[in-house]
Structures are given as structure tokens and as C-alpha cells.
Amino acid sequence: MINVTVATSSPTNAHQFAVPLSESGLLVKEDSLTQQVLDLHKADKTPGSAARVMIGENIALVIGVGSVYKARDFAAAAVRAASDKAPLILIASSSEEAKAFAEGAVLGQKTPANFKKDSKTDIDVQIVFDKKVDVLKELGVAQTIVAIRELINMPANALWPEKLAKEAKSLAKGLPIDVEIWDEKRLEKERCGGILGVGKGSVRPPRLVKLTYRGGGKHIALVGKGITFDTGGLSLKQPLSMIGMKYDMAGAASVLGAIVGAAQLGIKANITGFMCLAENMPSGQATRPGDVLTMRNGKTVEVLNTDAEGRLVLGDGLSLASELGPDHIIDIATLTGAATVALGKRYAGLMGKGDAIELAKEAAAAADELLWEMPLPAELREILKSDVADMVNSRIGVPSGSMLVGGLFLSEFVPKDASWAHIDIASSANNDAAPYSVYPSGATGVMIRTLIEMARRA
């Protein structure tokens, strides 16, 4: 656990302090850190790298920041490099930098592992600035993102649709957020055939969680894919592809994190969130390839691939969101493996139409998160044609633009004139490599800060 405080002077007892090293040299003057000392300790300018240098009874953590210094990333890297034996000191040059340090320090920590003994490390971080700075809001949102990471990292035997719905209610407790939980009977009454169709193969029935925050201002609807585990259903995944499918609820968890964060900040926007929750399992009652589902908006879908299930639950969620007539609709999902093929492991894909596209790009830039716009080519819509229903959910054996086809499918569930953004985080929701920026290994909580910023800017 990271404990962050703000002080107006450095401590006199033994401590660690972080110093940024850019391509142009040290960004903070420290006489003891000569070039000879830096070379001896192999101090590296690469972003996120760290060298430990003893200076008397204290330790200097020389943190590489590359060509562009980012306060959040610097603080995150310092936390990862720090020992829990002494306080870590971060010296801020402005109140804004102090706030960024607070956020980065919390976000940079290793996510606690609930099923692993001795996985938690307590580090005291002291931000030093010559004036008092209130960082409570930054800390609150960052801690919420860490809580969301913990949820996403949970194994599927400890987190299923009903349990995740309860966790959502618990996280929203004490905030001005109304929470509705729809069980399978309510989902049937509300004609949510997509969510029901995906969840019918599991002994753990599906849920929909509706979250409502009324902060005033523009109305934003958020829709998140929440597959608590994805076996592929009867279109069973290969064993290697099934590893990590506990992360398939990251989109719904991101919606929860964004609304909770917006409420903590008191953002002046009205936000309605839909967490579309199901477990995609094979069984004697599971949806079969060739079955036809009737979605919330009345469209029928021939399910050719039960492993293309995320778009089915999102279709119902997007229909519910569209009925509210919001100013912007944003859905977020670990939708397609093709997103990783196209964008690698750090960028999220962006598709959609209307003002929401520029809003998303501006918000991502402000939050310093990586988002790349992809097209929605009209000619690929042919791939979704069906002989027996309004559309198919996927065309097996036709890999062309499969990330984009997923977006085209979702576009059928929002009005033609909607301001709509689809964010595919399949490539970036979990980090199976070393930590980078403010993201640890495992669940990243990516795009939560972007969604909050979208609400702020709407």
C-alpha cells in the first residue's frame, strides 16, 4: 500500500529521494550526482529505469525520464524502484506537479494480489512543496483505479456476474450514484436477448448493472463489456487463448471506475453507466452456432461464432443507452484480439462517429493515455449479412478487418446521428510484460482517466 502525504520541508531522518534523468541530464540539481557517479551506477535515461546511489545515509533514486518529462510517470517509476525501509521523497516545483506526483505514486504501485501471501508492500511517499497542497481528490481517484485493477485481476472462481454486481454496489456506496441490478428475470422482461444468450450456458446467470450519477450538465452514457470469464462458449477457445480471459470484464469495470471517479471529483455531468455482465460457458443449454437471438432494439442476430460474444452483450447495453437520448455514448470493451494485432499492447483502438470521436482523442491526450482512431469502412458491412436474420455476429474464416467489423456490428445499436465512440482495450487492458508509465503488470485500468476526462470536457 502506498501512503502519500504532503509536507513543506524534507525530513531529517534517513530517506530515499528521486531525481529525474533526461536525455539532457539531471533535471534537479544534486551536487553529489556527478557524471562519474552516474556512469559508475549505470544510470539510464530510458523512461522508467532506476539507479540507486548512496549519498550519506540517504539513497538517491535516479529515474530515467527520456526526452519528455512526465511527472506522473516519474513518480510511478520512483515508487516501483523504492524500498519499503525508508520514506520516499518527491520534491515538487509546483502545486500541479505535486498533484501529479500523488496520482502517479498510487497508480505506479504493484497491484495487491488477494490470493498471494506477502504481496503487499507499504511505502511511505512524502511530497515536498513549499506551500500546502490538497491532493485528496487525486489520491481518491487513483485509489479507485487501483481497486478496479484488483477487481479485474480477480480469478473467475471468485468473481462472477452476480458477485461483480455486488462489488459495483459496494464501490459506489456513500457516493451520489444510484445502482440498479437487473437479474435474469428482469433482463428477460427488458428483452435483453444478447446478454441472456451469452450467459445462458453458465450456471452463474447474467446481470446488468445500471449506474446513475447526476452532476448536472451534459449527459454521457457509458457501456462496458463484462464477461467475467470467456471460454468462447461452444466455439471453444484453444487452451492458450483461454488464459487471461478473466480480464474480459475490464470494460465493465472501467465504466464503474469512471463513474465512481467522476462522483468523487464532483464533475458537472450526468452519467449513466451500463455494466453488461455474463459468463460465457459451454453446456447443454448454451447458445449454439446458428442460433438466432433477438436483441433489445428488436434486431435479430444469427450467432455464427459464440466466441464473438462481447458485441452481443454490448448491443443490448448500447440499445438501452440510446433510448435515453444522451449527448454522447461511449462503450469500452476488450472486444477483439485483432486490436492487439493492429495496435500492439499499449494502444487502445477508437471507432465511432460524431463529436464523441474528437472528445475521446482530446481527453486521452489530456490524461496521457494512448488512443488511436480506426475507420469503420462501409464495404465491410457486407461481412455481417445473414440469410436468416438481420445480421450475423461474426463471419468465421473472413479475417479482413475483424477489429473494424466488430465496430460496425456495434454501430447497428446506436442511432445514425448519435455521437458515439467505441473504445477497444483488448490490447491494453492487461499488461503481461514489465510495468511502464503508470501501469503495473496485470490489469492496467487503462482509459478510466480518459473516460473521466471526457465527462469533464463534455
CATH number of the domain that residue 57 is part of = 3.40.220.10
Do 51 and 150 belong to one domain? no
Shared-domain flag, residues 154 and 271: yes
Catalytic site includes residue 311:
yes
Choosing from 99, 149, 296, 311, the catalytic residue is: 311
Q: Where a domain ends, among 129, 152, 167? A: 129
Question: For the chain, how many structural domains are there in total?
Answer: 2
Check which CATH number belongs to the domain holding 311 and give it: 3.40.630.10
Same domain, 156 and 83: no
Nearest-angstrom CA–CA distance, 458 and 216: 11
pLDDT in single tens digits along all 458 residues of the chain: 899 999 999 888 999 999 999 999 999 989 999 999 999 999 999 999 999 999 999 999 999 999 999 999 999 999 999 999 999 999 999 999 999 999 999 999 999 988 887 766 789 999 999 999 999 999 999 999 999 999 999 999 999 999 999 999 999 999 999 999 999 999 999 999 999 999 999 999 999 999 999 999 999 999 999 999 999 999 999 999 999 999 999 999 999 999 999 999 999 999 999 999 999 999 999 999 999 999 999 999 999 999 999 999 999 999 999 999 999 999 999 999 999 999 999 999 999 999 999 999 999 999 999 999 999 999 999 999 999 999 999 999 998 899 999 999 999 999 999 999 999 999 999 999 999 999 999 999 999 999 999 999 99
Q: Which of 129, 151, 186 is the last residue in one of the domains?
A: 129
Q: Do 194 and 263 reside in the same domain of the chain? A: yes
Q: DSSP class of residue 267? A: -
My answer on whether 147 and 121 are in the same domain is: no
Asked if residue 196 and residue 171 are part of one domain, the reply reads yes
Q: How far apart are CA 408 and CA 421, in angstroms?
A: 12
Query: Does 134 reside within a domain?
Result: no
Rounded-to-integer distance, Cα 211 and Cα 453, Å: 18
Which region holds residue 87: left if phi is over 0, alpha if psi is between -120 and 50, else beta?
Answer: beta
Same domain flag for 168 and 224: yes
Residue 446 lies in a domain: yes
Q: What residues make up the domain containing 76?
A: 2-129
- The Cα 80–Cα 110 span in angstroms is 8
Question: Of 237, 345, 381, 456, which is the active-site residue?
Answer: 237
For residue 135, tell me if it sits in a domain. no
Indicate if 239 and 117 belong to the same structural domain.
no
Helix (H, G, I), strand (E, B) or coil at 207: strand
- Domain limit, last residue, from 129, 158, 184: 129
Same structural domain, 260 and 168: yes
136 located within any domain: no
- Residue 225 and residue 336 share a domain: yes
Does 149 qualify as catalytic in the annotation?
A: no
Task: Report if residue 97 sits inside a domain.
Answer: yes
- If one counts every other C-beta atom within 10 angstroms of the C-beta of residue 11, the result is 15
**Burial tier of 100 (Cβ tally within 10 Å: 0-12, 13-18, 19+):** buried
Q: Are 181 and 165 in contact (CB under 8 A)?
A: yes
Q: What angle do CA 266, 268, 270 make, to 5 degrees?
A: 105
Here the cell at position 208 is: 446488468
Are 150 and 251 contained in the same domain? yes
Residues 7 and 71 in one domain: yes
Contacts of 68 (CB under 8 A, 6+ apart): none
Residue 34 covered by a domain: yes
Q: Is residue 58 part of a domain?
A: yes
Residue 125 placed within a domain: yes
Distance CA 139, CA 137 (A): 5
